[in-house]
Structure 1
Amino acid sequence: MSGTPAKAIAVLAALQLTALIATASLAAQEADVTSLFPKAPDGHVTDVAGVLDPSSSTRIEDLAERLRAATGAEIAVVTLPTIGDRSEAEVALAIGRAWGVGAEAEVGDPRRNAGIVMLLVPRQEGREGSGYLRIEVGQGLEGIVTDANAGQVRDLIVSSLQGENYGPALLAGGEALVTLIARGRGVSDSALVNARPLPVSSPRGGSPMRGLGPVLLFLVFLLLSGA
C-alpha cells in the first residue's frame, strides 16, 4: 500500500504533462493559422490577394458599413493569396474569431456573434481546383442566413466568376448577404433590403404541382374501378 500515493502522483503528473502538451500543440496550430492573414482591419474589405477592383471594394464597404449601423451585424470580405494546407473553413473561422467579426455585444444580445466572413482564395495561375470560397456564418445569424441561403450565395458568386472577375463576383455575394440580413432583421432601408434579393425556389426545385401526379392517377384508378 505504501506505493499507492507515489503511483497516484505519477499518474497525475503524466495527465498534467499530457494536458500541457495538448495545449501547446493547439496554441501552435492557432498561431500557424493566424499567420495566414493580417491583424483586424478598420474596414470590412481586406484584399490581401489584390484581386478586387476599387469600384467593387467601395460598394461592398459602403453596404457593409450601412448594414452594421442599421443592425449591428458585420460582414468581413477577405481575399488571401494562399491558405497553405489549411481548409478554407478553418481559416474563415479563425478570421472571424481573431477579428471578432460581429462579436461586440453582450451575452443574450441578438447582435452577438452576428457576423459573416466571406473568404476567397483566387485560382493559382488559372488552374482548376486551386481556388477556394467559404462563407462562414456566425451563430447570431444562423437563423437568418441558413446553410441553404449560404449555398445560394456561393452559387451566385461562382456563376459570376466568369473571366476571374473577382470584384463583381464578391460584390454580388455581398449584396445578397446584406439583403438577407436586412430583411431578417426587419430593416426598412430600401438600399439594404433591395440590394440583391435571392430568387425564391420551390424546396424540391420544381413546380408545386409536381407531386400531385401520383395522387391524380390514383383517383382516376379508383373512379375506373368503381365504374
Structure 2
Amino acid sequence: MTAMLWQAIAILAFILAFATTASADVAIPQLTGRVIDQTGTLSSSDIATLSQKLRDFETRKGSQIAVLIVPTTQPETIEQFSIRVADAWKIGRKKVDDGAILVVAKNDRHLRIEVGYGLEGALTDVTSRRIIDEIITPKFRTGEFSGGISDGVDRMIRVIDGEPLPVPSPTVNFGNLDDIAPLFIVTLFASIGVGGFFRAMLGRLVGSLATGGIIAVLSWLILGSAAIALALGALGFVIGFIADLFSAMAPSSGRSRGGSWSSGSSAGGWSSGSSSDSGSFSGGGGSFGGGGASGSW
C-alpha cells in the first residue's frame, strides 16, 4: 500500500511539473536589432530593408520603432506579452519615451502596437487600431506579411513625424567593428608609409598634421562618424610624428629620407559596411504604460 502511495505521489508530481512547464511565459527575445523575426516569415532582404528604414527614421526624428514577430505569446495575452517586451527593451529615448513596438504573434493571429508615453498624443489608441485594421491585417489575411508590416511601419512613421519631439542629440556613432578594424590597420600603415612622403615634403610637424587630416576626412566619408574620424586622424598624426622622430634618431641605413617608404595598404579596399543591426542597436531607456491597440486577422 505504501509503495502504491509513493507511486501515486510521484506521478502527481510529474504531472504538476509538466503543467508548470507548459504554462511558463514565453521568454523575451534579446534585443539584437530593430527587426526580430523568430518565425522565418521575413526574408533577410525584407529585414535589412525594414531595419534601414527604421534606422534612418531614428537618425532623423530621434524616435525608435522596433518590430517583433513570435510564433505565440501563450499562455499570456498579446497585451501582457507586449508590455513585458516594452519594459525589457526600453525602446525610445529616456525621459522622451518616444518608442513604439509592433508585435506579431503569427500562430495566434494576433498583433499589437505598443506605444511609449511620449507618443500617446500622436499614436493614440484609436490611431493605432486604425493602422492595424485598415493597413496591416488586410494584407495579413492574404498572406502578405512583409507588405503588411512594411506599410504599417510606414504609417506609424508618418504619424510620429507629425508629433513635435525633441531634436535628436548628436550621438557618437561607433559603427560596426568590422568597419573600424580595417580602418585602424590602414591608419597605422598610412601614418608611417604615406605620412613619410608628406613629412619629407612639408616637414615633420606639418606633414604629420596633413597625414592626420587626410585620414580623418576619409574615415568620416566612410563611417559617417565625426568622432571616430577625429580619433583616427589624431592617431595618424601621433603615430606619424613619433615614427618620424624615431627614424631621425636612428642610425642612418643608407636610404634617403622618405625615399623607401611605402603605404603598405590602399584606400581602395575600404568598405562602407553591412546594413545589419546585429550588435549595434539598443533601447534608449524609454518607458511604456500600456498605450496602443491590438487586433487579429
Report the TM-score, using the length of structure 1 for normalisation: 0.58
Q: Does 1:83 align with 2:73?
A: yes
1:122 Cα offset (Å) = 1.1
Letter in 1 for 2:67: V
1:121 Cα offset (Å) = 1.0
Indicate the residue corresponding to 1:166 in structure 2: 145
**Regions of 4+ moved over 3 Å:** none
Aligned pairs, number: 142
Indicate the residue corresponding to 1:135 in structure 2: 113
Letter in 2 for 1:141: L
Decide which of 121, 145, 168 is 2:105's aligned counterpart: 121
3-state secondary structure, aligned to 2:68: strand
Instruction: Give distance in 2, aligned partners of 1:140 and 1:47.
Output: 26
Instruction: Give distance in 2, aligned partners of 1:186 and 1:141.
Output: 9
- CA shift digits 1:122-169 (9 cap, x unpaired): 13xxxxxx3110111110100111112101110110011143221111
Decide which of 9, 23, 48 is 1:58's aligned counterpart: 48
Letter in 2 for 1:149: T
Letter in 2 for 1:77: V
- Which is higher, the Rg of structure 1 or of structure 2? 2
Decide which of 53, 56, 69 is 2:59's aligned counterpart: 69
The 8 Å contact of residues 50 and 150 in structure 2, kept in 1 or not, is answered as yes
3-state secondary structure, aligned to 2:91: coil
The 8 Å contact of residues 113 and 141 in structure 1, kept in 2 or not, is answered as yes
Q: Does 1:179 align with 2:149?
A: no
The 8 Å contact of residues 157 and 170 in structure 1, kept in 2 or not, is answered as yes
Letter in 1 for 2:163: G
- CA shift digits 1:75-103 (9 cap, x unpaired): 1100001112101011111111101111x
Indicate the residue corresponding to 1:40 in structure 2: 31
Report the TM-score, using the length of structure 2 for normalisation: 0.45
Greater length-normalized contact order (CA 8 Å, ≥ 6 residues apart): 2
Indicate the residue corresponding to 1:151 in structure 2: 129
Instruction: Give distance in 2, aligned partners of 1:89 and 1:168.
Output: 23
The 8 Å contact of residues 71 and 185 in structure 1, kept in 2 or not, is answered as no
1:58 Cα offset (Å) = 2.4
1:183 Cα offset (Å) = 2.5
Q: Which runs of 5+ in 1 are unaligned?
A: 1-31, 124-129, 188-227
The 8 Å contact of residues 28 and 84 in structure 2, kept in 1 or not, is answered as no
